[in-house]
Amino acid sequence: MPNKNTETSNWNFEDSEKLYGVSRWSKGYFSIGANGDLLATPDHHQPSLTINIQEIVEEMNETGIQFPAVIRFHDILRSQVESLNLTFRNVINDADYQGQYFGVFPIKVNQMREVVEEVVSAGKQFNYGLEAGSKPELMAALAYNTNKESLTILNGYKDEEYFKLALLGQQIGRKIIIVIEKFNELKTLVRIAKEMGVMPIVGLRSKLMVKGRGKWKNSSGERAKFGLSYVEMLNAVDYLTEQGFADSVKLLHFHIGSQLTDIRSVKDAIQEASMVYMNLAKYGVPLSYIDVGGGLAVDYDGSQSTHNSSCNYSTEEYIVDIVYGIKQTCDLYDIPHPNIVSESGRAITAHHSCVIAKVIGEIKPNSTKFDTSIEQDEHILISNLRDITQELNCENYQEMYNDLVSVKAQTVSAFSLGVLSLKDMAKMESLYWQTLEKINQHLIGEEFIPEQLMEIPALLSSQYLVNFSVFQSTIDSWAIKQVLPIVPINRLSEKPTKIASLVDITCDSDGKIDQFIESNGSTNTLPLHQLNTGEDYHVGIFLTGAYQDVMGDMHNLFGRLNEVHIYSYDDDPKDYYIEEVVHGSNMGDVLSTMQYSSEILANNIKKEIDVKVSQGLIKPRMGVQLTDFYEGCLSNYTYLADDKH
């Protein structure tokens, strides 16, 4: 075996970079410093300004902000908004394209007010607007998208109230485009518009026949939940013309799904949609916008592939395909180039936030050893197991593995029948894990590993217990097997000597993460560092700014996380300042969402304590302490607190 010490000292931050692939998924926003700390470079305008994430964590510890916590880098959000808009602008110029770009941010991706405000502020110079897909989102969009030149695009199913809100927006001077998702919406819209005496601006959502590829491929195609078929689209145009609204149809919309992993689906959709646009234009519909929806993917695992958590194209390539694709069709059929709208959400927000959580323990299946030495009258099954362990060598380990599995099964039956004792079973367990360890040693460095043995490294790996909830913070890792990059935030110049998967603190066996970026040849485990006593070990879960931030739920009543909002600031010695701390839910908050009143809870406990005090079973002083303690807990954080030894 190679000497462990020299191996460790040969490791440096560049090895960690290779292992965790930071530069492959971070778009330059994160990197590993030479001292082994994880760094952020949030502002594209200031590439030399780097923030040490470990320093943020230390500052949070000093100011008593508990973990798990979200760190939100506002400059990343701004940089992403700028880069999308500038790229569209540049490609449009280069292509000599006659229309303009009017992007909108779909707020369902992250409805946090601070996020929406930042996006609107960064997008002001580009007339970048908002997209809403429900009434509450529309309420927010109306109040926050105050730039009169930018668009507000309204998708989703709509009722009277939704239309009224939309037309209210139009009356206060906003450019509201109401996208029709289903034919019957038109009738309501026409009625309300007549009542209010307002001429709406209408968009028509096409189902398109082409399908996206990836998880959300059913957002398009003939069985899609949204949009109009070709028949309905023509009927819609005729209906609006009959009703005197012929001039109102300005936009053609499509959205073939989120996280489009393969650029071919973008090309296909643009081809089909631009033909629809051209046909409608020739039919006399006064269209002037084409809205390509969302779908611009994030390369979560950095593999640049068509895996569900990746994509095989860059933002620039995506934009080039859109602009040139539309231009080609319009030029061929001699119609004016439309303005282009896009609704990218994931790609705008994913990078700007991360979750920092503390590893609070290690769970090993075989950590405690039991005395397995030979005893008189030992049962033959136990002796058999010991023989397997001893006879195992580099030639027979597969055969021995088969024997092991079968003898183990026999011991379990024998125990049920009362033939083996608990002590025998403890021996069995100990011998079983020893044997697996031995087989695993033989597997290291093998080019070919038989399929049935492939699970052994994962079986032997540790589980790191992390103080967070998958269901609150990384819901898609559970729901759709989304892979998110996970990296320790310091000690990156030290070799990680453990192989682990992560488990959270919920009482749900699904509360775990066991899908990782391909790093050490396995995607089920992640190399991490040995935990040192008395030293905090934090991992960062990255690219959580899209959907994860806002979709999490309160499984086990673990609530929303504390958040710090970070701005880059050159004049500060640490190059940043915490602009805002948003406190996460306390226990009283989460209980109240389930209809519990803090007051009643505390009262019930107090009453019972009072009874015990009056019976002399609890001392009065202790009674008051207990009452205060229970009450105090209601305003405490829902996650585990650090033990104050």
Least distance in Å: CB of 344 to ligand PLP?
Answer: 4
Sign of CA dihedral 310, 311, 315, 316: positive
Integer CA distances (angstroms), 512 to 199, 467, 476, 516, in order = 52, 11, 12, 12
**Smallest gap, in angstroms, from Cβ of residue 479 to ligand PLP?**
15
Residue 460: count of CB within 10 angstroms of its CB: 17
- What distance in Å separates the CA atoms of residue 398 and residue 355, rounded to the nearest whole number? 42
Q: Which of residues 105-144 bind ligand PLP (CB under 6 A)?
A: 106, 108-109, 133
* Contact window for ligand PLP (CB under 6 A) among 58-66, 101-109, 568-576, 592-600: 101-109
State the number of CA atoms in the 13 A half-sphere of 372 facing the CB. Answer: 23
Asked if 50 is part of the footprint of ligand PLP (rule: CB under 6 A), the reply reads no
Tell me the site size for ligand PLP, rule CB under 6 A.
Answer: 16
Question: What are the two backbone dihedrals, phi and then psi, of residue 362, each rounded to the nearest 5 degrees?
Answer: -125, 135
**203 lies in the site for ligand PLP, by CB under 6 A:** no
Residue span binding ligand PLP (CB under 6 A) among the ranges 14-22, 341-349, 364-372, 387-395: 341-349
The residue among 120 and 296 lying less far from ligand PLP, judged by its C-beta, is 296
Which tokens hold the place of 57?
A: 């964590």
Phi, psi angle pair for 570, to nearest 5°? -60, -35
CB of 95 to ligand PLP, least distance (A): 22
Q: Is 344 one of the binding residues for ligand PLP (CB under 6 A)?
A: yes
Separation of alpha carbons 251 and 407, rounded Å: 69
Q: How far is the CB of 298 from ligand PLP (least distance, A)?
A: 9
Q: Which is nearer to ligand PLP, 133 or 485 (CB)?
A: 133
Q: Closest approach of Cβ 82 to ligand PLP, in Å?
A: 17
Q: Which stretch binds ligand PLP (CB under 6 A): 4-12, 66-74, 289-297, 509-517?
A: 289-297
Among 158, 207, 255, 565, binds ligand PLP (CB under 6 A): 255
Q: Which amino acid, 120? A: V
Output the CA–CA distances (angstroms, integers) from residue 25 to 133, 314, 333, in the order listed.
29, 12, 41
Q: Minimum Å distance from CB 483 to ligand PLP?
A: 16
How far out from the chain centre does Cα 224 lie? 24
Query: Is the CB of 84 or the CB of 392 nearer to ligand PLP?
Result: 84
Stretch that binds ligand PLP, among 49-57, 87-95, 164-172, 251-259 (CB under 6 A): 251-259
Q: State the minimum distance, in angstroms, from the CB of residue 297 to ligand PLP.
A: 7
Q: Which is nearer to ligand PLP, 68 or 294 (CB)?
A: 294
Segment holding 512, helix H or strand E: strand 512-513
User: Could you tell me if 500 and 528 are in contact, meaning their C-beta atoms sit under 8 angstroms apart?
Assistant: yes
**Per-position DSSP letters for 322-351, written without gaps between them:** HHHHHHHHHHHHT-PPPEEE----HHHHGG
Q: Which residue is nearest to ligand PLP (CB)?
A: 294
Q: How far apart are CA 26 and CA 302, in angstroms?
A: 8
User: Which ranges constitute the DSSP H helices of 63-133?
Assistant: 74-94, 113-123
**Residue with Cβ nearer ligand PLP (20 or 163):** 163
Q: Is 240 in the site for ligand PLP (CB under 6 A)?
A: no
Q: Please report whether residue 80 would count as binding ligand PLP according to CB under 6 A.
A: no
Of the residues 258, 308, 435, 544, which one makes contact with ligand PLP according to CB under 6 A: 258
Structure tokens at 221: 């195609």
- Least Å distance between CB 134 and ligand PLP? 10
- Which residues 6+ apart lie within 8 Å of 628 measured at CB? none
Q: In angstroms, what is the minimal distance from the CB of 204 to ligand PLP?
A: 13
Of 294 and 623, which CB lies nearer to ligand PLP in the complex structure? 294
- Report helix angle 620-633 to 598-614, nearest 10: 170
| Residue (of 570, 590, 561, 575) closest to 72 by Cα position | 561
Query: What is the per-residue binding string for ligand PLP in 153-172, x denoting contact by CB under 6 A?
Result: --x-----------------
- At its nearest, how many Å lie between ligand PLP and the CB of residue 182? 14
Are 259 and 215 spatial neighbours (Cβ–Cβ below 8 Å)? yes
Residue of 539, 545, 548 lying closest to 480 (CA atoms): 548
Stretch that binds ligand PLP, among 115-123, 337-345, 410-418, 487-495 (CB under 6 A): 337-345
Tell me the CB-side half-sphere exposure of residue 118, using CA atoms within 13 A: 24
Per CB under 6 A, contacts with ligand PLP among 290-329 are 293-296
Cα–Cα distance measured from residue 200 to residue 190, given in angstroms and rounded to the nearest whole number? 9
> Does residue 545 interact with ligand PLP by CB under 6 A?
no
103 in contact with ligand PLP (CB under 6 A): no
Q: How far apart are the first and last CA of the chain?
A: 39
Whether the CB-CB separation of 292 and 338 falls below 8 Å is answered with no
Nearer to ligand PLP, 345 or 588 (CB): 345
As measured in angstroms, the least distance from the Cβ of 411 to ligand PLP is 52
Minimum distance of ligand PLP from residue 44's CB (angstroms) = 20
Selected binder of ligand PLP within 345, 457, 588, 623 (CB under 6 A) = 345
According to CB under 6 A, which one of 27, 78, 337, 346 is a site residue for ligand PLP?
A: 346
* Rounded Cα distance, 337 and 278, in Å: 10
From the centroid of its chain, how far is CA 324?
Answer: 32
In the complex, the residues that contact ligand PLP under the rule CB under 6 A are 106, 108-109, 133, 155, 255, 258-259, 293-296, 343-346
